[in-house]
Structure 1
Amino acid sequence: MAGVTLNNVIKRYGQVQVIHGADLDIQDGEFVVFVGPSGCGKSTLLRMIAGLEDISDGEIGIGGTVVNDVEPADRGTAMVFQSYALYPHMTVEENLSFGLRMNGNDKADTNQRVKNAAQVLQIENLLERRPKQLSGGQRQRVAIGRAIVRNPEVFLFDEPLSNLDAELRVQMRVEIARLHSELGVTMIYVTHDQTEAMTLADRIVVLRDGRIEQIGSPLELYHDPVNQFVAGFMGSPKMNFMAAEIVDHTADTVTLSLANQHGARLALPVKQIPSTTHVTLGVRPEHFLPAGQGDCDLNLKVDVIEHLGATTFIYSGTKTDEQLIVERDESENDDIGGAVAAAIPAGRCHLFDEQGKRLT
């Protein structure tokens, strides 16, 4: 097993820089997930660790050794791609053993590795089948098995579940979490799905435009985001953002007037007073309280209702730039076009300045 370090890693394509000085220290046996919107550089970063992309500057270390000039096959990594890339004319057993056989690995050792991988992934009964006879989840297990038989020090996953339907994604998330627990090896996982990140990761790396915005545990990022981007990206449904203006302040408290809520006012403790009066208030859907139980009441028009069993989400302002989502108990009766009252608890709010920096 081995840890992975990135030291001021930069990637350029011609004159265009797509990774801007990434620094990261992944511990031996840790499960780290790269998340961010499409085009943020997460897959590029993963491919540079694998050696499939050259780095323009900086250093990548695996197991304490700088691997900038080491061939991909010699880095001790194994990659699982979004596409299964299985050989259709081969059985599952042949797909699993192909790489080892091509490298001249001992036959008895190869058979044992295939057997062990099949047991870990619970696909022993599929070894004689061909890919066309497998479901999507079974094919993904085989793709992961090809990585396992190499006995890598680091597993690299590039959006491995994006081709599966919702139910299979949930099942495979559980399988990958179990796999990490059993093998105890370092895993780096790329996804745009923050739910996958929250459920799988020991730590999450949030990227935007080729820069690392924040690194932390799932709950650290959820409850303590450093800026508005991270706050809005982590969580489903996402955090509500409301335009506000500072109308009064003391040394450590500001009083806000909510721009689109008829001047409703809310007092918040802050770490620093911003230089401008225009700010953004953030509140997660589940943190709204019944009217009269918080620090500022809002009266909202019900535009859309989502019933999800024990939880209901009320959407207000869907035709404006400031859509608000309120989580409600499923027993409450709300009608589209009607009104819903909710209260903001000051202690559960976040405040951001015009640059998106968190102030609370």
Structure 2
Amino acid sequence: MAELSLKNVVKRFGSYEIIRNASLDVADGEFVVFVGPSGCGKSTLLRMIAGLEHITDGEIHIGDTLVNDVEPADRGIAMVFQSYALYPHMTVEQNLAFGLRMTGNPKADTDRRVQRVADILQIKELMQRRPKQLSGGQRQRVAIGRAIVREPRVFLFDEPLSNLDAELRVQMRVEISRLHKELGTTMIYVTHDQTEAMTLADKIVVLRGGNIEQIGAPLDLYDNPANQFVAGFVGSPKMNFMSAEVTATDSDNVTLTLLNQGNVRLSLPLKNPPPAIGDAVTLGVRPEHFAKAGEGVADLTIAVDVAEHLGNTSYIYANVAGGEQLIIEREESRNEIKTDTLTVAIKSSHALLFDKTGNRLR
């Protein structure tokens, strides 16, 4: 096991900067997840840690070792890719043992490690099969097993579950979480899946355009996003954003008018210096932070577009003026919502406020 440290890491392709001054500390045994939109640099950052991409500037340390110029095979890392990358002509047992045998590892130790992996991943009955005889989930177990057998200091996962169907993703997510608890090894995981990030991570790193926007525990990012981008990216369904204008302020409160919601006014407590009257701002409310009419700080009457009934919960989608869409969570799915309109209230205790540049005001 090992700590991992990135200090002002930069990656350029020609004049184009992919990663900008990324700094990150990962504790020994920590599970860290990189998330962000496509093209934000999360896989590039992972590949630089692995040594598959050279860094342009900065430092990467694994344990006490500066690894900028250390070959991938000598970094003490193992990587699991989106594609399983198994040798089709080899059995599972041979796939697991191949890397160790190529490095001249003693046969007795190789056999011990392979059997240990088979026990951990519960794949003993698959050892004599070839990849084409395995399901997607079984192939991914073998791919993970090939990483475990190396007994690395750091595991790297690059969207390992994206090729699996929904049910298998849930199953493998549980298995990876169990594996981390059992091995206690440092793990870095790249995904675009919100559920994977929220359920697996000890710490999430949110990237955008090569910049690290925020680092924190999953629920910290969910409850206290640093800016509008993080607020909108972390969480599924995503946070609702409503255009508003400041109509009054004092030292502790700000009063807003929601521009596309029938000019609804609401007041929010504010700790930061208040914006100026007339400023354009954005109110952020998560789907679960709407209440029944009369139980919040302001009532909204919305036109129901689509209602998704998911057992004990419903999600109501409403298109409103100005092109905004609201997603509202209701625990009333057993009584299907059949009306064309619905009145809900905003809970001020969880509402967030952002200025026109996306910086958080509340």
Indicate how the Cα distance of structure 1 residues 318 and 193 shifts in structure 2: closer, same or farther if over 3 A, else same: farther
Q: Please give the TM-score of this superposition, normalised by the length of structure 1.
A: 0.98
CA distance in 1, matches of 2:48, 2:138: 28
1:334 — aligned with what? 337
CA positional deviation for 1:341: 0.6
> Which runs of structure 2 are paired with 1:1-360 in the superposition (5 Å)?
1-270=1-270, 271-275=272-276, 277-317=279-319, 321-329=323-331, 330-335=333-338, 338-360=340-362
Q: Is the 8 A contact 2:261 2:321 kept in 1?
A: no
Tell me the SS of whatever aligns to 2:247: strand
CA contact (8 A) 2:35 2:204 kept: yes
Count of residue pairs brought into register by the alignment: 359
Q: What displacement does 1:269 show?
A: 1.3
Amino acid at match of 1:115: Q
Relative to structure 1, the CA distance from residue 179 to residue 44 in structure 2 (aligned partners, 3 Å threshold; closer, same or farther) is same
RMSD: 1.1
**Residue pair 1:290, 1:341 contacting (<8 A) in 2 also:** yes
Superposed CA offset, 1:100-151 (max 9, x none): 1111110011011000011101101100000011000000000000000100
2:302/2:320 contact within 8 Å kept? no
**8 Å Cα contact 1:302/1:335 also seen in 2:** no
Does the C-alpha gap of structure 1 residues 139 and 319 become closer, same or farther in structure 2, counting only changes over 3 Å? farther
Letter in 2 for 1:287: H
| Counterpart secondary structure, 1:294 | coil
Amino acid in structure 1 at the alignment position of 2:6: L
Residue type of the partner of 1:309?
A: G
Contact 1:303 1:316 in 2 (8 A): yes
Decide whether the 8 Å contact of 1:295 with 1:345 is kept in 2.
yes
Mind listing any 5+ residue stretches in structure 2 that lack a counterpart?
Answer: none
Q: Using structure 2 for the length normalisation, give the TM-score.
A: 0.98
1:319 Cα deviation from its structure 2 partner:
8.4
Classify 1:79/1:318 alpha carbon distance in 2 versus 1 (closer, same or farther; 3 Å): farther
Look up the equivalent residue of 1:282 and give its one-letter code. G
Contact 2:260 2:321 in 1 (8 A): no
CA distance in 1, matches of 2:143, 2:185: 17
* Partners of 2:311 and 2:334 within 8 A in 1: no
Deviations 1:195-230 (A, max 9, x none): 100000000000000000000000000000000000
Task: Write the letter of the residue equivalent to 2:305.
Answer: D
